[in-house]
Amino acid sequence: MVDMSTLDPCLEGISFPADVHTIVECAEGNLCPREVISEVAQVSDRTFSSKDELLCSLGNPEYCSTS
């Protein structure tokens, strides 16, 4: 599971909303570890409104909205 401290440097410079392809490109450009890029690339092909929403999709329930 990817956590916030690992994901933060991978997404430096990104603006949300962002789709999975944009997130992967950003992570690759920031020399993010291959295993993190692979996990991100496997989430549903959709647009994320925030980093929290992405983290929730990556299996981090503490970032999932309860509303």
Number of compact structural domains in the chain: 1
Local structure of residue 67 (DSSP, 8 states): -
Over residues 3-7, the mean pLDDT reads 92
Is 66 among the domain residues? no
Phi, psi of 18 (to 5 degrees): -150, 145
The whole-number pLDDT of residue 67 equals: 56
Percentages (nearest 5) of helix, strand, coil residues in the chain? 50, 5, 40
- Which tens digit of pLDDT belongs to each residue from 38-51? 999 999 889 999 99
Q: Is residue 46 in some structural domain?
A: yes
Domain housing 45: 4-61
